[in-house]
Amino acid sequence: MYILGISAYYHDSAAVLVKDGKVICAIEEERFTRIKHDNSFPSQAVEWCLAEAQISINDIDSISYYEKPLLKFERTLDMFIQTWPRSLISFVQNMPELLGEKLSVEHTIRKKLAYKGKIVFTPHHLSHAAAAYYSSPFSSTAILTIDGVGEYQTTALWRAKDGKIKLIKDIHFPHSLGLFYSTCAAYLGFKVNEDEYKLMGLAAYGKPVYLNKLKKIIDIKNDGSFQLNMNYFSFRENGQMWSKQFETLFGKPRLTQDKLTQRYRDIAKSVQTLTEQIYIRILNHLYEITREENICISGGVALNALANGFIHSQTQFKNSHIFGPSGDSGAALGSALYSYRALAPQSLGRSGVIPAKAGIQTKISALSLGSSYSNSEIEIVLKKYNLKYKKLSEKALIASASQALNEGKIIGWFQGRCELGPRALGNRSILCRPSPRSMKTKVNIIKIREQFRPFAGSILQNHVHEYFEVPEKNFYAPFMNYCFMVKKTLLRTRLRKGKGNPLAAITHVDGTCRIQTVSPYPADSTNLTNSTNSTNSDLYFKLISEFYRLSGIPCILNTSFNLKGEPIVESPEQAIKDFRNTKLDVLFIGSFAVYRE
């Protein structure tokens, strides 16, 4: 049975193909259109999924859409009515689009894809819950879904057991932790649905001196439930997220080009601190009412790695799973997996419990679900640009790349299948050694990023406890969704050459680091084993292992292979263009090492 999952029309449109309960390929539309966070109908992503699986649209048993368009239209119309006449301009500007493809999704799917089969619509937060649960290793778990807004829900508490997901309680629009955070990000001069992570990075430079003022605009209960004081927000009425009263309370907003003064840094820290407090209160309440030892989390707020770093130290959950693409692209995957359960009862036991061999996805260990390119395809592009390159064996490639890293060079790394979600996890990455501190400055210059923004570290799984204050010895974090403190003892560590913190370039000013643990892909990896374009799935692990042998550091700096304002590179041509337009020292693409003239 083939099910095609789709998300579209808000941000991060994507297509996901599920075969007999297993995710076989998935990719965001932005990777093809080159429009960052593209929200258009994912025509090219769908086309690629079908081609990758070597099937046609007629082979699809059902298409699953990640939310209910009619219910979302109802909520939007209700919002306009409640805020009338202040919402008049917004109503006039948005109604044509709302009455178009956003409302008639079924008609759009059938027209654009020439599809005549079954179409299923999964509620937005249920899609998030399914993505978190069915990708986890847990049979029984609590689930938190938390984002800007779906149809009505902005926060939902769930319990899942034996494959079944049950809603416990929820919070509805306009009361939203995601929209609260986005409003504050916009006030600080950052883009909504794109730059929220900048607020998170900036927070490390401030102090939470505005906490009491923030509590005037959001009422927080002991159980973590909350209500926004809508006098301070205007996202229902117009394009500006905050109201005049918000400015009266906090002062003039920052324009994008304005300097980041200490006031803005302190506001960012206050917003981040309050978000963490609410997040942890919700989780503690969820534990109290479920007594589950496992927690799954999804939705855009789940990308707040700083907040995730407190889950194990400030709640009683023993195990956590945060799906890598926890935003809307991941919701397409969740919708498809949920629909498979509904449409394939023959694969379930009488009680609805998943049998051991039911063929239903119970764990996703890797997100390498996107496109890949053969060496012959890569070499055609290398010759097109008349580049200096050398083809290497796998052993020589690893040796050359690890040596370059050890020498302090910054490399482009384009290998295997691109990942689903906002994180580059070692297939479409820019890499360098994690020290000295100047490496951070150099990479930010290459990527044309603000210098206050930190980078993540990819560390060998069996060494994570030696370098970070993780909750357990071999804490598993393959999707780069947690921040932890770097061990204080490292600040006094003597390296083989010189002294200092071996992770200086990835240690943020508050002592934290967003981590990705790296190990060889296990046997249950979701990678297509029959793909002719697949490369050795352990390549990234081997690279870091060899760098460790050379340097004594089992960790490297990892950031996405893209420049400011563009999505992560998808094709060899895009990777080569970024290489030529920057000061990257070497590009390792497929089996080729590409050098500067």
pLDDT tens for each residue of 174-232? 999 999 999 999 999 999 989 999 999 999 999 999 999 999 999 999 999 999 999 99
Selected residue with higher pLDDT from 140 and 490: 140
With both helix axes pointing from N to C terminus, report the angle between 177-187 and 262-290 in degrees, rounded to the nearest 10: 170
Q: What is the pLDDT of residue 531?
A: 32
**Model confidence band, residue 354 (pLDDT cutoffs 50, 70, 90):** very low
pLDDT of residue 269: 98
242: which residues sit within 8 A by CB, 6+ positions away? 183, 186, 187, 232, 233, 234, 253
| In the chain, ranges of CATH 3.30.420.40 domains | 1-135+323-364, 137-318
Angle, helix 88-98 to helix 69-82, in steps of 10 degrees:
170
User: What pLDDT sits at residue 238?
Assistant: 77
Q: How confident is the model at residue 362 (pLDDT cuts 50, 70, 90)?
A: low
pLDDT (0 to 100) of residue 352: 42
Q: So what's the pLDDT on residue 239?
A: 74
CATH 3.90.870.20 residue window(s) in the chain: 375-595
Averaged pLDDT for residues 324-351: 81
Mean pLDDT for 500-520 is 94
> pLDDT, tens digit, for every residue of 223-272?
999 999 999 999 988 778 999 999 999 999 999 999 999 999 999 999 99
CATH superfamily of 137-318: ATPase, nucleotide binding domain (3.30.420.40)
Question: Regarding the domain with residue range 375-595, which homologous superfamily does it belong to in the CATH classification?
Answer: Carbamoyltransferase, C-terminal domain (3.90.870.20)
Share of the chain above pLDDT 90, in %: 82
Return the pLDDT at 528.
Answer: 33
What crossing angle do the helices spanning 572-580 and 375-384 adopt, rounded to 10°?
A: 40
Confidence (pLDDT) at 527: 34
Average pLDDT, the chain: 91
Give yes or no for residue 119 having a pLDDT over 80: yes
Q: Is the separation of the CB atoms in 208 and 302 below 8 Å? A: no
142, two tokens: 């609590």
pLDDT in tens, 65-75: 999 998 887 88
Q: pLDDT, tens digit, for every residue of 98-115?
A: 666 777 899 999 999 999
Q: Which pLDDT band, with edges at 50, 70 and 90, does 358 fall under?
A: very low
Question: Which residues fall within 8 angstroms of residue 99, CB to CB, at 6 or more apart?
Answer: none
Exposure string over 319-333, b if 16+ CB within 10 A, otherwise e: bbbbbbbbbbbbbbb
Burial class (CB in 10 A: 0-12, 13-18, 19+), 210: buried
pLDDT of residue 81: 75
Contact 506, 440 (CB under 8 A): yes
Predicted confidence (pLDDT) per residue in 285-336, tens digit: 999 999 999 999 999 999 999 999 999 999 999 999 999 999 999 999 999 9
Residues 458-481: pLDDT tens digits? 999 999 999 999 999 989 999 999
Does the pLDDT value for residue 490 go beyond 90?
no
Mean of pLDDT values over 435-452: 95
pLDDT at 446: 96
C-alpha distances out from residue 506 to 54, 201, 231, 436, Å: 42, 12, 40, 9
pLDDT at 351: 40
Cross-strand pairs, 514: 483
pLDDT at 83: 75
Least confident among 293-302, 337-346, 378-387: 337-346
For residue 360, what pLDDT band results from cuts at 50, 70 and 90?
A: very low
Q: What φ, ψ does residue 459 adopt, rounded to 5°?
A: -125, 145
Give the tens place of pLDDT for each residue, 33-67.
999 999 999 999 999 999 999 999 999 999 999 99
φ, ψ dihedrals at 243, nearest 5°: -100, 180
Q: Which amino acid is at 488?
A: K
The residue that leads in pLDDT, 352 or 437, is 437
How many CB atoms are closer than 10 A to CB 209? 13
Band (pLDDT 50/70/90 cuts) for residue 537 is low
Q: What angle do CA 539, 545, 546 make, to 5 degrees?
A: 90
In the CATH scheme, what is the code of domain 1-135+323-364?
3.30.420.40
Q: Quick one: pLDDT band at residue 596, thresholds 50, 70, 90?
A: confident
Provide the pLDDT for residue 427. Answer: 97
